[in-house]
Amino acid sequence: MQSTLLAGTGGFFTTVISSIGVRHHGAHDLVTDGLYLDLRRTLRNPADDPVLRYGTGLDAKVRAHVMATPRAREVITLTALRLRALADETPADRLTRLTVACQGGRHRSVAVAEAIGRLVWEAWGGRYGVEIQHHHIDHSVLPPGTPA
C-alpha cells in the first residue's frame, strides 16, 4: 500500500480516502463506512491502452488519460462536495471516509482519489488533514475480464 499525506495545520487527519481494485480478493473488506464511488462504468480504463497499462494513477500520462474522460472532473467535483458535507456533519473525533473503486486499483481509482483528496484539502485551506491510501497500486495488472 502507498499513501499520500496532506497534513492539516492542526496536525491531525479528519479524512481518509482509499483507492481499491474490486477484482482483488478481499477488496470489499476494506470498505468500512462513509462514501463509496465505483468508477468501472464511469471512466475509461487506462489499462486498455498498452502504453498506459503498467503505469499508475500517480503517473502524469495515466492521470491525464483519466481526467480527459468525459464527466471525470464533474464526478470528482461532486464527490468532493459530498465528502466535505459528510465531514461537516461528522463528530471531530471520528474520521470521514471515502472509498474509490475501479477494476484493478492501479489507474482510475488512484488518479481520482488523489484529485478528490487535493480538492477537499485545498477547499479546507489545509486546516484539516487528508490521507489517501492506495491499497492495490502495487499489485500486478490484472488480465482483462478475469476475476482476481
What's the pLDDT score for residue 148? 46
What's the pLDDT score for residue 44? 87
3-state secondary structure of 80: helix
**Grid-cell match 494513477, residue found:** 57
Which parts of the chain register pLDDT below 70?
144-148
> Could you report the per-residue pLDDT of 10-42, keeping only the tens digit for each?
777 889 999 999 988 888 888 888 899 999 999
What's the pLDDT score for residue 70? 92
Report d(CA 46, CA 61) in Å as an integer.
Answer: 9
With contact defined as beta carbons under 8 Å apart, do 64 and 53 qualify? Answer: no
Long-range CB pairs of 93-96 (<8 Å, 24+ gap) are 95/13, 95/14, 95/15, 95/16, 96/14, 96/15, 96/16, 96/34
What's the pLDDT score for residue 1? 84
